[in-house]
Structure 1
Amino acid sequence: MSRIAHEMNEKFADASWQERHAVTRVDQLREWMDDTDSTLMRDIELGLARAPMAMRITPYVLNLIDWSNFLQDPIRKQFIPVGSEMLPSHPLLQMDSLHEQESSPIDGFVHRYQDKALLLATDRCPVYCRYCTRSYSVGLDTQSFFKKRAPPFQSRWNTILAYLRATPVIADVVVSGGDCFRLKPSRLLTIGKGLLSVPSIRRVRFATKGLAVLPMKVTSDHEWTDALVSISNAGRDQGVEISFHTHFNHPLEVTDYTIAAADLLFKRGIRMRNQSVLMAGVNDDPEVLKQLVKKLSDLHIQPYYVYSCDLVDGLEHMRCSIRLACQIEKALRGITAGYNTPLFVVDTPGGGGKRDVHSFEHYDNQTGVAVYQAPAVRPGQLFTYPDPLQSLSPEAQAAWLDPQRANRMLSDAIEAARAKLMAV
């Protein structure tokens, strides 16, 4: 491995060192690669030129990659794009596929569900994931994408608090971004105390991928961890649940650093849950997800969601069909206690919110269209999620590339769903 990976143990375990040495350019990858094949480096450059997310990877994550099996490695696939593996995006792709901006009464504050809101507190992350739903706003501009950023947090925080106080139906707030690991301890405390000052709020979730990509922050950045614990303790005293939501996709992401961080949080009273994203070549295998579920459960991290991958540009080759998601969910059911068995969901394009993957009103696996309703979110509307093109027959793929035939497939699926609903 490279000189960086061998340089030190003590520095490697320091979060600030990890952040300072994050890899953001292709030429920096040469220090990590066993073979600086110019063809492969050019392939990575082509991938980044198309990707909506800039590259930022901590040395910790780079050290998890099997560089001798670079193209097939499940960690690499999540963070380093290569142009040769990318397929044309689905015709239904939109940059903000979940229509979060349409559901935002305040920039960076999404209120879609009646009693829950999403606070986007930052647009930065310790690493940038290729499959990020918020590629429209998170991270640096790329060669092909300019981000639609919310105004600085401080300029909208008082407006958000006023909205929450004026909307007492909101009882649950998710603090995300970006990533909560990039919040300074003072900002974390400001947000936590501010939310706890709103009488109607009963649950606050701090969402981060940090435990999977920078776990040493918990063990080395004592001020940040103390801030999180302080909020949790204050919430407990008020009868408000404070929880920490992580994001692991593969069992290889669980390391000794992860174990140490999770153990520290558990002993200090932090409730932890995990959500994963189902991706081809990463975790589209029941055995892989079984291992992940078991490992997380042993760390007192409840595996509660597995998402069907959202429509993100450059990710068509990593999306999985609804049929496969249902099959994998069936394989996982019963391997452990029900409360540690994740629910497979689709976050429906167009703003219908999360639906159980198997709860479609109609699903045609020939055209790859699943139709869902969301009566508690947008009553009377139907929402469609398309299977990846490569999972379909050549005839169906060709049909999707013809706008008239594509519209017909969508309308036929929606009509079939309405007919089934009327027959009930």
Structure 2
Amino acid sequence: MPNNIMGCDTAAIQLNPVIASSFNAHYYEPIPSSRYLFRSDEFWRGLDRWKDIDAELFLNHLWQEKNAITSVAALGDLIKNRISTAFLRDIEEGHQLAPMSIRLTPYVLSLIDWDNPFLDPLRRQFLPLASEKLVDHPMLKLDPMGEQNDSPAPGLTHRYPDRVLFLATNVCPVYCRYCTRSYAVGLDTDVVTKQKINAPGERWEPAFRYIEANSSVEDVVISGGDAYRLKARQITEIGERLLDIPHVRRMRFATKGLAVLPMKVQSDHDWTDAISRLSDRARKMGKSIAIHTHFNHPNEITAITAKALGILYERGVEVRNQAVILRGVNNSKQAMHRLNECLAYLNVRPYYCFQGDMIQGVETLRTSICDSIELEKATRGLIAGHNTPHFIVDLPGGGGKRDIHSYDYYDKQLGVAVYRAPAVKKDKLFLYCDPLHALSPESQALWINPESRVQLLDDVLKSAK
């Protein structure tokens, strides 16, 4: 049995001295515990191409970036000796139907259990299979949040009174297949021609000027894409510019990087120093800077992760996690509990747990509202409240974030919930629809038929009012 099941586990896993010697000598290290002996073997050697790669090279972020897999053909060449021809064909056909292009680091690819890839929680997050594709709900969209409708400047979304979302880049260290910005992030695919959202340089200036001119904006989320792909000088440029705006009090740099490229914190000293300096300066100004990262499953957490998070913790950089509820990945009490307790142990606050967005092309990963509420009930109370995430639905159509159980009306048989968001868009009703696979054949037929769908929606809105 692979020794990475549930992210860590047995006392038999000891810290590999080769890996240990590759880390900076000075960092915060949690007190050892048999429950938190994170995977520390040289797991990447299980793939033929990397069997001779030593720890020093594997732990270099530049090597990881250079050797990232960016095509299905390259992936097939990498894993062909570990999977069947039929499974590789399944991946190839799956990507022809996917809204996201492929980009994966050697770190992530090496953590996938290639002896059982169909059920592996990391494979499910990044690599679609044609055989698992399900029919899309007719209400799904590529931009379900309607971010472009609330954009006063290129790359900027202003939805909440005191917060803006600043999309500083459109690239990431990896591409998640369920990405809420599959309409813009990554390369064009067979089914999606990407919209352009932002790029460094002069195209940032309108966003900066808008924030400067709006004194109600106190909180800025720097995302994209992924803040991990911003260079140190760009992190500094954005951070310093925003800190110099008197009314901006809080900044959040959003990145999946800590889950998929944790060694960057150790080997890219300029990037880590830039975040640390901004955090120190913000604190002296009575302001705050945090990293919002994105772990979904405990298998993503290794000894390498622990070292990276330890460095950030020692430097006083706050890290919070935003997970997404994904069917077959973390929609069990065991997986969600283990994820949250491992993050809490590493001083990462489990902040949000999002209901899967209503995005086209990834219906197999979505869960129903009622199932997610049951997951919340099962999870709450297992660890301290401040380390229990808020279970949230980000409302389609730009309603913003609401507690998942705060709907005004929910028809479980039809799989549709109605929410209000009066502080964001007064008097508007927002609908979240459960995936078709969670409904009876009769209810599915009502949604699929255009005429009955119109009547269904009309009846639901009347009931909600």
Q: Given the two structures, how large is their TM-score scaled by the length of structure 1?
A: 0.97
SS at match of 2:59: coil
SS in 1 for 2:245: coil
Q: Is the 8 A contact 1:307 1:344 kept in 2?
A: yes
Between the aligned residues of both structures, percent identity stands at 49
Partner residue of 2:72?
A: 26
1:221 shift after superposition: 0.4
Among 52, 55, 65, which residue is 1:9 paired with? 55
Q: Does 1:379 align with 2:426?
A: yes
Distance 1:132 1:176, change over 3 A: same
Map residues 118-197 of structure 1 onto 2, 5 A cutoff.
Answer: 118-197=165-244
Secondary structure of the residue aligned to 2:402 is: strand
- Name the SS of the counterpart of 2:253 in structure 1: strand
Which residue, 374, 377, 388 being the options, matches 2:435? 388
2 CA distance for matches of 1:92 and 1:230? 45
Question: In structure 2, do the counterparts of structure 1 residues 288 and 151 end up closer, same or farther at CA, with 3 Å as the change threshold?
Answer: closer
Per-residue Cα deviation, 1:74-94 (whole angstroms, up to 9, x for no partner)? 000001111111012110011
Q: Distance in 2 between matches of 1:310 and 1:341?
A: 21
Q: How far apart, in 1, do the equivalents of 2:262 and 2:414 lie? A: 42
CA shift digits 1:28-83 (9 cap, x unpaired): 22323444422222211111111111000000000110001111110000011111
Q: Which moved more, 1:308-317 or 1:216-225?
A: 308-317
CA 264–185 in structure 1, closer or farther in 2 if over 3 Å, else same = same
User: Residue 72 of structure 1 aligns to a residue in which SS?
Assistant: coil
Match of 1:275 in 2: 322
What's the counterpart of residue 106 of structure 2?
59
Q: Which residue, out of 352, 355, 361, partners 1:314?
A: 361
Query: 1:286 corresponds to which residue?
Result: 333
SS in 1 for 2:283: helix
Q: Is the 8 A contact 1:18 1:59 kept in 2?
A: yes
Aligned to 2:7: none
Question: Among residues 207, 210, 216, which one is paired with 2:254 in the alignment?
Answer: 207
Q: How many residues align?
A: 418
1:100 matched to 2:150: no
Please list every run of 5 or more consecutive structure 1 residues that lacks an aligned counterpart in the other structure: 419-424
Distance 1:337 1:328 in 2: 16
Could you tell me how far apart the structure 2 residues matched to 1:5 and 1:295 are? 28
Q: CA deviation at 1:149?
A: 0.6
Contact 1:49/1:144 (<8 A) preserved = yes
Deviation track 1:86-117 (CA, whole Å, cap 9, x = no partner) reads 01211001111100000000111000000000
Gaps of 5+ in 2: 1-45
The reply on whether 1:298 has 2:332 as its aligned counterpart is no
Deviations 1:121-178 (A, max 9, x none): 0000000000000001111111221110124331222221211111000000000000
**8 Å Cα contact 1:33-1:67 kept in structure 2:** no
One-letter amino acid matched to 1:4: R
Q: Is the 8 Å Cα contact of residues 170 and 199 (structure 2) preserved in structure 1?
A: no
Give the Cα–Cα distance (whole angstroms) in 2 for the partners of residues 126 and 103 of structure 1.
27
Q: Could you tell me which of 77, 94, 101 is aligned with 1:47?
A: 94
Distance 1:350 1:185 in 2: 34
Q: Deviations over 1:370-394 (max 9, x none)?
A: 0000000001000000001000001
2:128 matched residue in structure 1: 81
Q: 1:252 aligns with which of 274, 299, 303?
A: 299
Bigger mean CA offset, 321-330 vs 147-156? 147-156
Contact 1:34–1:68 (CA<8 Å) still a contact in 2? Answer: no
3-state SS, counterpart of residue 354 of structure 2: strand
CA contact (8 A) 1:34 1:67 kept: no
CA contact (8 A) 1:369 1:410 kept: no
User: Aligned residue for 2:35?
Assistant: none
SS of residue matched to 1:200? coil
Residue aligning to 1:421: none
Measure, in 2, the Cα distance between the counterparts of 1:36 and 1:300: 37
Task: Tell me the SS of whatever aligns to 1:173.
Answer: strand
> Partners in 1 of 2:219 and 2:81 — Cα distance?
47
Q: Distance in 1 between matches of 2:457 and 2:288?
A: 42
1:27 alignment partner, SS class? helix
Q: TM-score, normalised by structure 2?
A: 0.88
